[in-house]
Amino acid sequence: MRQAIVCVVALSAGLTPRAASAATCDELKTLVLSHTKIDAVAVVAGGAFTQPGERAGRGGNPFSDLPAFCRVAATLTPSGDSDIKIEVWLPLDRWNRKYQAVGNGAWNGTIGYAALADALRRGYATSATDTGHVGGSASFAMGHPEKIIDFAYRAAHEMTVTSKAIIAAFYGAAPSRAYWNGCSAGGRQALKEAQMFPADFDGIIAGSPGLDWSGRSAQAVRLAQMFENPEARLSPAELQTLHAAVLQACDARDGLKDGLISDPAACTFDPKTLQCPGGGTGCLTPKQVEGVAMMYGSIQTKRRRIGGLAPGSEVNWTDLGWSPSARATGLDHFRYLVFGKPDWQIANFRLETDVDKLEAGESGAIDARNPDLKAFFDRGGKLLMYHGWADPQISPLNATAYYQEVVGAAGGPSRTAGSYRLFMAPGMAHCGGGEGPGQFDKIGPLERWVETGTAPDRIVASHTTEGTVDRTRPLCPFPQIAVYKGTGSIDDAASFSCK
């Protein structure tokens, strides 16, 4: 193996060329690392990358704007039953001297090419993993406890350690900063990193995190069981009626009627106000009201509270309750991790007994609920977490509850303000989209926080319709909310302050 020599590199405009001591892309084939096999290396010319197995559609190749990079594929085997695939992308020119790891979604055993591309465009060396299996099902878990550990946390950590070594070999210098960027399951991975491997990253973005992975499974299956009864289901028109009633009850509580609920946790809407015996235009049947109450409701056990969906999210629901992805993820969790029975059905779920089984064995290892982040904070780590209040797939109430638990474990807000910020987005759905402003830069604010010490006190988000921005709004550090100043456009972020 050619030895990488860490050296001082001359910087130009914050970007650096590769050092004279660095390995070429082709030489990375012979790199020797612990429980790592380099499967392939290749120089990819600017604009030449195409996603494996995909054909360019009418919009052309979405990767045509990528710069040239060295693409490394490797297999990691930290256990006898591990088969973790990773890819590491290394810009050939204008590397920003930083590393960004990107996360996954659901049970997905795939490389996140779109996320890799986003990081590469910003000058990062970047990597992604398939979490140790192939496909979007949890069927890999049956009889394979080591693969469950890989999915839960080990694949992300091992990818990070290996990627840093490959980066150092290729550039002749270690990255100056390391960041994690993930949403949903990637947000769960983010929190696992902060909790278990506090030295891996300087800054972490945890979006819409599935931190109570097992609890979300229980909620999704419980609701799916309710909505197997057609009498409980709501049509799109009935969901709109429900949503309008919620807005009527809670929209103006923040001092502005704008179609968004800034603090859904304080909304006291009672779905029974829409109930009429036989249903009909503008009202709901008793069975529908029962289903709606369950959508909002939490599961309370002796050990924990598992949040429901928030008022204001109704237009993002389906006639079967939570999102299809949430239902499928929950069903797989019970089939393959809790009961080990591929033929287990939603009708078999028993709330009184089955929720407690979620924390047993490998199932509980996937959760990222540990609020003790002291080791990560003590070494200067910064955690930027965000969640949409209108998320139909992962309860936003779990995010605010976790924030309060972390603050409590650290000894109060003064101990976490410089290290941890949570931004709740009114009207935003899962990881983005929805009626509210849900498009915003996450990496820029985190970089400034880590690299200059400037903590984000507001992040401006936007909403677009048919490609045109029609509303901007500041996202505020929880528990603050955006409050209208009394003058100016309600669609302009400058008209709001965080209070």
For residues 274 and 304, state if they share a domain. Answer: yes
- For residue 20, the enclosing domain spans 1-175
- Residue 108's pLDDT band, with cuts at 50, 70 and 90, is very high
pLDDT score recorded for residue 56: 57
Q: Inform me whether the pLDDT recorded for 5 exceeds 50.
A: no
382 burial class (0-12, 13-18, 19+ CB within 10 angstroms)?
A: buried
Query: Is 239 in the same domain as 278?
Result: yes
From the list 184, 208, 325, 363, the catalytic residue is: 184
**Percentage of residues in the chain having pLDDT higher than 90:** 86
Pick from 153-157, 213-217, 488-492: least confident: 213-217
* Residue at 483 is within a domain: no
- 413-433 pLDDT, tens digit each: 999 999 999 999 999 999 999
Q: Where are the alpha helices (DSSP H) in 263-411?
A: 286-296, 324-332, 351-354, 361-365, 374-378, 396-410
pLDDT (mean) for 382-409: 97
* Residue 15 pLDDT greater than 60, yes or no: no
Residue 59: predicted pLDDT: 65
Using 50, 70 and 90 to split pLDDT, how confident is the model at 21? low
In a domain, 468, yes or no: no
Same domain, yes or no: 72 and 155:
yes
What is the tally of structural domains in the chain? 3
Determine which of 114-118, 245-249, 355-359, 360-364 has the lowest per-residue pLDDT on average: 360-364
Say whether 184 is catalytic: yes
Give me the numbers of helices (H) and strands (E) for the chain, helices first please. Answer: 14, 15
For residues 118 and 120, give the distance between their C-alpha atoms in angstroms, rounded to a whole number. Answer: 6
| 100 domain residue, yes or no | yes
User: What is the CATH number for 440?
Assistant: 3.40.50.1820
> Is position 482 within any domain?
no
The sign one gets for the Cα dihedral 332, 334, 338, 341 is negative
Length of the chain equals 499
Same-domain pairing of 302 and 158 = no
pLDDT score at 318? 87
Answer whether residue 43 is part of any domain. yes
CB 474 within 8 Å of CB 459: yes
Query: Would residue 430 show up in a list of annotated catalytic residues for this protein?
Result: yes
Annotated catalytic residue: which of 391, 395, 463, 495? 391
Write down the residue that tokens 């955690």 correspond to: 383
Identify whether 479 is part of a domain.
no
pTM of the model: 0.94
**Beta strands of 241-336 (E only): which ranges?**
299-300, 305-306
Instruction: Summarize pLDDT for 258-303 with one digit per residue, the tens.
Output: 999 999 999 999 999 999 987 777 899 999 999 999 999 999 887 7
pLDDT given for residue 278 in this prediction = 75
d(CA 22, CA 167): 10
Q: Are residues 59 and 149 in the same domain?
A: yes
Examine the domain organization and report whether 28 and 14 are in the same domain: yes
Quick one: which of 367, 368, 390 has its CA closest to 309?
A: 390
479 to each of 373, 403, 482, how far by Cα in Å? 19, 10, 10
pLDDT of 4 strictly over 50: no
Separation CA 428–CA 423 (nearest Å) = 11
- Domain membership flag for residue 287: yes
Q: What percentage of residues in the chain have a pLDDT greater than 70?
A: 94
pLDDT of residue 357: 87
Is 329 inside a domain boundary?
yes
Asked if residue 110 and residue 3 are part of one domain, the reply reads yes
Specify whether 253 is located in the same domain as 360.
yes
Catalytic residue among 133, 157, 333, 430: 430
Query: Is residue 8 pLDDT above 60, yes or no?
Result: no
Q: Is the pLDDT of residue 324 over 90?
A: no
pLDDT of residue 16: 53
pLDDT tier at 361 (50, 70, 90 boundaries)?
A: low
Could you list the beta-strand ranges (E) of 45-176: 69-76, 84-91, 98-102, 125-129
Q: Please give the mean pLDDT across all residues of the chain.
A: 92
- Cβ-based neighbour number of residue 433 at 10 Å: 16
Q: Note the pLDDT of residue 128.
A: 98
What single string gives the DSSP state of each residue in 374-419?
A: HHHHHTT-EEEEEEETT-SSS-HHHHHHHHHHHHHHHTSHHHHTTT
Q: Which of 175, 192, 225 is the last residue of a domain?
A: 175
337 DSSP assignment: I
Last residue of one domain, picked from the residues 315, 334, 364? 364
* DSSP structure string for 435-465: SS--B--SHHHHHHHHHH----S-EEEEEEE
Residues 150, 76, single domain; the answer is: yes
Domain boundary among 364, 385, 402: 364
pLDDT confidence of 27, banded at 50, 70, 90? Answer: very high
Give the closest residue to 181 by CA, choosing from 460, 404, 444. 444
Q: How confident is the model at residue 12 (pLDDT cuts 50, 70, 90)?
A: very low
- For this structure, is 93 an active site residue? no
Q: What is the pLDDT of residues 124-170, one digit of tens each?
A: 999 999 999 999 999 999 999 999 999 999 999 999 999 999 999 99
Which DSSP helix (H) or strand (E) runs through 182? strand 177-183
Residue 416 in tokens: 């976490």
Domain match, 141 and 194 both = no
The C-alpha torsion from 391 through 395 and 397 to 400, rounded to 10°, is -80
What distance in Å separates the CA atoms of residue 207 and residue 398, rounded to the nearest whole number? Answer: 12
What's the rounded Cα separation, in Å, for the pair 23 and 230? 63
First and final CA of the chain: distance in angstroms? 57
pLDDT, residue 2, reads: 35
- The span from the CA of 373 to the CA of 193, in Å, is 10
DSSP state of 150: I
Residues 49 and 120 in one domain: yes
pLDDT digits (tens, 9 = 90+) for 33-76: 999 999 999 999 999 999 987 765 566 789 999 999 999 999 99
325 and 377 assigned to the same domain: no
d(CA 190, CA 80): 25
